[in-house]
């Protein structure tokens, strides 16, 4: 099955790689190097005064108790979002993989939320759960639950987690479904003949065979919660109440855009970048070993 | 690639479409943050100005909310294509002021363009906010407002409250009665948490928010709003929050609908809420001055303004500046100002427009719109009530609100929360001071 191509022209392979390399350099290496450079500068918002301050931005950052708190918030938020969006998507995908009558309609509906912009998704959830006027918070209050994401930290966290999970399920669903469909029926049938019940078949056959997909999604989801969720947080809670939903990436946004502190914000992005690179490396080093390709 | 070509083609055709009917008029870009009825006002003003002469063409563009518009302007300046005029909310004032070279002070603009301009023609409580300590106007006030207490008269009557409360203790008592009369989830509330309970509260009681006349006299200012009075007030709110006699309404104005829906019968927010209140409330409502603590000597003092002003960006051509100056003269016209004020609910910026509205008998029919003006002119402004000018104010407001939220949620004591707000705010002020040399 292994295919190998021999290039006669020595330049051709590089030429074919070039578009991808250009994109990576322009959209990743260049901005990333700019962020690293900026993290050593102190600038005003307009970029009129710029001064090299060495590690001062980093020192200021690690002197803030709020920064450590945002780290903890990020851990809680990303664990919840990744775990929930992966497991719910897997559940939906296994259900959609069955012989259903309206399967295409069901699948389309499942994929729909992915097309919604994060900020729009945020506004949507904000309105549904707005304490006194929201469509869904009124019944909650009617049941005697004092639903108040404006002041209750747990309620606010639940709300942003729900919005972020809802947005990510589609993506995970799509990949899980494709992964499930790639599992040979014969293997499952063999399991069935051997007397394995559906649940056992799932855990001993389907799930291990799905592990490349799961691993890929785990990496992608971690990147998603770390970088892509600030739009949702901004629209739903604005990082509140009292900083309870200020994740690291939201703090980057708040300090840089709202606070005009580009140096401090750049320093935070650099730290965030290091964390995500480290996490991904760990995943590849340790988790990938358990993956069966 | 195809997309980029399409984009270029679209840009060219859009430019052609805009340029052709204007007869090579000089274009003036105006970025703003006005939505709804106020967006129409902006577009109408630009249309009227463009129709009144043929040399200049003002092109308004909506750039999102206040922080978004300001950030868009800053980003555009860094990229070298800033608009001519940008609407910046009052808390962005220090940031704009600190950007020497990025902005063109209005007094200088008017002088260079040779436009008639008398700073004394404008209401001092408004222009003071946007002027240097020497009285030089830096930006042009556009939409100004102040904070007032909105009252649902029907609900107050139902709860047996015959007089509109004037002091905080009276408001608390009224809120308890409202709660007893069925307003379980909200006795009273407010929008703009820090504007209400720190900024306006301090000015109204003639106590400092910070040193150096709340930062007006220099960037080396320090915050002072953790005084016993501030702590007492926050403690009162914390106590009332427990059973929702007071219910926190958020950092911005997204919860103003709790007033128009009838849920909260007493609600502190901007006087600029008038238009929306009129359009969405199905009950008899009015506005009243903000409450005060009667045991504080000299209270109430005067309130400070909110809203936004128009900043002129630097580095443009002289003939373009001339157009901007002409537009400002156009905006200052007495009849236009009076009309603008009477229709939008925002404050008139010139004395003449205010006097005209009084003479027209406008306030007899619309006392609601005079409340903010009465507050602003209640007494001669002091060091503590002229205004405020803190760097990093946009984000600092969030930090202050965070601490208020922590206190209301019972995570911190009132004193501890305010101390922490002051301390974190001071750190931000020092960071700003370093960049705004």
Q: Mind listing the pLDDT tens digit for each residue in A105-156?
A: 888 888 888 888 888 888 888 888 877 778 888 888 778 788 888 888 899 9
Question: What residues of A are in contact with residue B263 (Cβ under 8 Å)?
Answer: 132
Residue A238 has its nearest CB partner, among B249, B251, B437, at: B251
Q: What is the mean pLDDT of chain A?
A: 87
In A, minimum Cα distance to B403 occurs at A242
Tens-place pLDDT, residues B174-226: 999 999 999 988 999 999 999 999 999 999 999 999 999 999 888 899 999 99
Contact A44/B99, CB-based, under 8 Å? Answer: yes
8 Å CB contact of B255 and A49: no
Please check the confidence at residue A46 and state whether its pLDDT lies above 90: no
Average of pLDDT values for B84-110? 90
Share of chain B above pLDDT 90, in %: 56
The interface predicted TM-score (ipTM) is 0.77
Q: Pull the structure tokens for residue A87.
A: 């497991």
Among the ranges given (A29-43, A65-79, B115-129, B215-229), the one the predictor scored with the smallest mean pLDDT: B115-129
What pLDDT sits at residue B126? 86
Above pLDDT 70, what percent of chain A?
Answer: 97
Does A49 contact chain B (CB < 8 Å)?
yes
Element (H, E) at A51: strand A50-52
Task: Look at A62-71, A92-101, B210-219 and tell me which has the smallest mean pLDDT.
Answer: A92-101
pLDDT at B4: 47
Give me the residue from A240, A241, A259 closest to B392, CB to CB: A259
Of A133-147, A273-287, B52-66, least confident by mean pLDDT is A133-147
Tell which B residues from 230 to 259 touch A, by Cβ distance under 8 Å. 241, 248-252, 254-255, 257-258
pLDDT(B400) > 50:
yes
Q: What is the rounded CA–CA span in Å between residue A267 and residue A252?
A: 9
Work out the percent of chain B whose per-residue pLDDT is above 70.
Answer: 95
Nearest CA in chain B to A246: B402
Q: How far apart are CA B132 and CA B119, in angstroms?
A: 12
B256-299: pLDDT as tens digits: 889 999 999 999 999 988 888 888 889 999 999 999 999 999 88
Give the chain B residue whose CA is nearest to the CA of A142: B185
Please state the pTM of the whole predicted model. Answer: 0.82
Predicted confidence (pLDDT) at residue B302 exceeds the cutoff of 50: yes
Optimal mutation site among B63, B244, B250, B260, interface A, most CBs of chain A within 10 A: B250
Average pLDDT of the residues in A60-88: 92
Residues 283-342 of B with CB under 8 A from A: none
On chain B, the residues whose CB falls within 8 A of the CB of A130 are: 254-255
The whole-number pLDDT of residue B202 equals 96
pLDDT at B3 over 50: no
**Averaged pLDDT, B10-31:** 64
CA distances in angstroms from A67 to A61, A70, A243, A244, listed in the order given = 7, 5, 10, 12
- Is A151 within 8 Å of B249 when comparing Cβ atoms? no
Q: What residues does B223 pair with on adjacent strands?
A: B210
What's the confidence (pLDDT) of residue B195? 94
Mean pLDDT for the stretch of residues A277-283: 87
Interchain CB contact of A151 with B (< 8 Å): yes
- Going by pLDDT thresholds of 50, 70 and 90, the confidence category of residue B429 is very high
Supply the mean pLDDT for chain B. 89
Tell me what the mean pLDDT of segment A22-48 comes to.
Answer: 88
Is A152 in contact with B409 (Cβ distance < 8 A)?
Answer: yes
Contact B249 A255 (CB under 8 A): no
Buried b / exposed e over B225-234, threshold 16 CB at 10 Å, is bbeebbbebb
Which of B398, B409, B436 lies at the smallest CB-CB distance from A254? B398
pLDDT class of B120 with cuts at 50, 70, 90? confident
Comparing CB atoms, the residue among A45, A141, A152 nearest residue B95 is A45
Cα A47 from Cα A260, distance rounded (Å):
10
How far, in Å, CA of A128 to CA of A125, rounded?
5
Q: What is the pLDDT of residues A76-85, one digit of tens each?
A: 999 999 999 9
The band of B6, judged by pLDDT with boundaries at 50, 70 and 90, is very low
Q: Are B31 and B72 in contact (CB under 8 A)?
A: yes
Q: Find out whether the peptide bond into B46 is cis, omega within 30 degrees of 0.
A: no
- A200-238: pLDDT as tens digits: 888 888 998 998 899 889 989 988 898 888 888 988 888
Q: Which residues of A touch B75 (CB under 8 A)?
A: none
Indicate the angle between helix axes A211-227 and A153-181, nearest 10 degrees.
150
CATH for A55-290 (1.10.3720.10, 2.120.10.80, 3.40.50.150, 3.40.1350.10) = 1.10.3720.10
Confidence check: pLDDT of B14 > 60: no
Q: Are B189 and B249 in contact (CB under 8 A)?
A: yes
| Residue A261 Cα, gap to closest chain B Cα (Å) | 9
In angstroms, the CA B82 to CA B148 distance is 35
Structure confidence at residue A248 as a pLDDT band (50, 70, 90): very high
Q: Phi/psi of residue B85, each to 5°?
A: -120, 135
pLDDT for A3 equals 59
Mean pLDDT along residues B72-76? 90
pLDDT value at B16 more than 50: no
Q: Tell me whether A54 touches chain B (CB under 8 Å).
A: no
Separation CA A130–CA B103 (nearest Å): 40
Rounded to whole angstroms, the Cα distance separating B214 from B200 reads 12
Q: What is the CATH number of domain B13-145+306-365?
A: 3.40.190.10
pLDDT band at A1 (very low <50, low <70, confident <90, very high): very low
Start and end residues for every CATH 3.40.190.10 domain found in chain B:
13-145+306-365, 147-302+390-435
In this prediction, residue A145 carries a pLDDT of 81
Name which of A45, A46, A242 is nearest B406 (Cβ-Cβ): A242
Q: What is the least distance, in Å, from the CA of A203 to any CA of chain B?
A: 44
What is the structure's pLDDT at A293?
66
- Average pLDDT rounded to a whole number, residues B349-378: 90
Query: Which range, of A97-106, A150-159, A173-182, averages the lowest pLDDT?
Result: A97-106
Residue B22 has pLDDT above 50, yes or no: no
Cβ of B186 within 8 Å of Cβ of A261? The answer is no
Whether the CB of A167 is below 8 Å from some CB of chain B: the reply is: no
pLDDT given at position A4: 64
- Residue A238, chain B, CB below 8 Å: the answer is yes
3-state secondary structure chain B: CHHHHHHHHHHHHHHHHHHHHHCCCEEEEEEECCCHHHHHHHHHHHHHHHHHCCCEEEEEEECCCHHHHHHHHHHHHHCCCCCCEEEEEHHHHHHHHHCECCEECHHHHHHHHCCCCCHHHECHHHHHHHECCCCCECCEEEEEECEEEEEEHHHHHHCCCCCCCCEHHHHHHHHHHHHHCCCCCCCEEECCHHHHHHHHHHHHCCCCCEHHHHCCCCCCCCECCCCHHHHHHHHHHHHHHCCCCECCCCCCCCCCHHHHCCCCCEEEEEHHHHHHHHHHCCCCEEEECCCECCCCCCCCCCCCCEEEEEEEECCCCHHHHHHHHHHHHHHHCHHHHHHHHHHHCCCCCEHHHHHHHHHCCHHHHCHHHHHHHHHHCCCCCCCCCCCCCCCCHHHHHHHHHHHHHHHHCCCCCHHHHHHHHHHHHHHHHHHHHHHCC
- CATH architecture of residue range(s) B147-302+390-435: 3-Layer(aba) Sandwich (3.40)
Mutate to test the interface with B, among A23, A26, A41, A44 (most CBs of B within 10 A): A44
What's the pLDDT at A282? 86
Residue A284 DSSP one-character state: I
CA B71 vs. chain centroid, Å, equals 17
């Amino acid at each position: 099955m292994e295919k190998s191509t021999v290039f006669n022209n020595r330049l051709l392979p590089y030429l074919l790689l070039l578009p991808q390399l250009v994109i990576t350099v322009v959209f990743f290496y260049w901005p990333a190097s700019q962020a690293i450079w900026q993290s050593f500068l102190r600038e005003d918002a307009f970029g009129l005064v710029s001064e090299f301050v060495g590690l001062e931005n980093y020192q200021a950052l690690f002197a803030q108790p709020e920064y450590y708190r945002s780290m903890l918030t990020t851990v809680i938020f990303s664990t919840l979002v990744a775990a929930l969006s992966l497991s719910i998507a897997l559940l939906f995908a296994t259900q959609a993989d069955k012989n259903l009558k309206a399967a295409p309609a069901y699948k389309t509906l499942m994929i729909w939320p992915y097309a919604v912009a994060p900020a729009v998704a945020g506004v949507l959830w904000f309105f549904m759960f707005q304490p006194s006027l929201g469509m869904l918070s009124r019944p909650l209050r009617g049941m005697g639950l004092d639903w108040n994401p404006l002041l209750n930290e747990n309620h606010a966290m639940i709300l942003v987690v729900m919005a972020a999970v809802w947005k990510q399920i589609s993506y995970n669903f799509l990949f899980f479904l494709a992964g499930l469909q790639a599992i040979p029926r014969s293997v499952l049938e063999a399991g069935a003949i051997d007397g394995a019940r559906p649940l056992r078949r799932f855990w001993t056959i389907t799930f291990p065979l799905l592990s490349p997909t799961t691993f890929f999604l785990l990496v992608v989801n971690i990147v998603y919660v770390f970088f892509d969720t600030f739009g949702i947080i901004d629209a739903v809670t604005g990082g509140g109440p009292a900083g309870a939903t200020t994740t690291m990436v939201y703090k980057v946004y708040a300090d840089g855009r709202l606070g005009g502190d580009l140096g401090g914000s750049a320093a935070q992005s650099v730290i965030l970048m290091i964390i995500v690179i480290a996490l991904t490396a760990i995943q590849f080093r340790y988790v990938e070993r358990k993956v069966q390709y | 690639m195809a997309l980029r070509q399409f984009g270029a083609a679209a840009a060219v055709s859009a430019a052609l479409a805009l340029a052709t009917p204007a007869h090579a008029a000089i274009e003036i870009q105006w970025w703003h943050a006005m939505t709804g009825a106020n967006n129409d006002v902006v577009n109408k003003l630009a249309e009227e100005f463009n129709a009144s002469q043929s040399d200049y063409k003002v092109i308004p563009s909506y750039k999102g909310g206040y922080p978004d518009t300001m950030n868009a302007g800053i980003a555009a300046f860094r990229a070298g294509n800033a608009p001519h005029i940008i609407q910046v909310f009052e808390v962005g004032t220090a940031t704009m002021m600190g950007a020497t070279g990025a902005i063109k002070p209005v007094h200088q603009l008017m002088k260079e363009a040779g436009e008639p301009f008398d700073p004394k023609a404008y209401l001092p409580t408004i222009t003071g906010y946007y002027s240097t300590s020497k009285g030089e106007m830096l930006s042009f006030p556009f939409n100004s407002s102040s904070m007032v207490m909105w009252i649902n008269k029907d609900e107050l009557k139902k709860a047996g409250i015959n007089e509109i409360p004037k002091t905080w203790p009276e408001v608390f008592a009224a809120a308890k009665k409202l709660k007893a009369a069925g307003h379980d989830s909200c006795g009273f509330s407010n929008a703009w948490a820090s504007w209400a309970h720190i900024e306006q509260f301090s000015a109204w009681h003639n106590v400092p928010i910070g040193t150096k006349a709340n930062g007006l006299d220099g960037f080396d200012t320090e915050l002072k709003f953790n005084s016993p009075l501030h702590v007492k007030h926050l403690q009162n709110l914390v106590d009332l929050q427990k059973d929702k006699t007071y219910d926190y309404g958020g950092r911005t104005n997204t919860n103003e609908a709790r007033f128009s829906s009838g849920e909260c019968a007493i609600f502190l927010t901007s006087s600029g809420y008038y238009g929306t209140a009129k359009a969405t409330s199905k009950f008899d409502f009015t506005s009243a001055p903000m409450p005060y603590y009667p045991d504080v000597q000299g209270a109430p003092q005067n309130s400070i303004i909110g809203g936004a002003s128009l900043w002129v960006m630097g580095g443009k051509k002289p003939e373009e500046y001339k157009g901007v100056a002409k537009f400002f003269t156009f905006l200052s016209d007495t009849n236009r100002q009076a009309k603008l004020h009477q229709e939008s609910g925002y404050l008139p910026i010139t004395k003449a427009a205010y006097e005209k509205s009084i003479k027209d008998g406008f306030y007899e029919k619309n006392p609601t719109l005079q409340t903010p003006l009465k507050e602003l002119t209640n007494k001669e402004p002091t060091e503590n009530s002229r205004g405020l000018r803190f760097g990093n104010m946009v984000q600092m407001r969030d930090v202050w609100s965070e601490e208020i939220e922590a206190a209301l949620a019972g995570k911190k004591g009132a004193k501890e929360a305010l101390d922490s707000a002051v301390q974190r705010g001071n750190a931000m002020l020092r960071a700003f001071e370093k960049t705004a040399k």
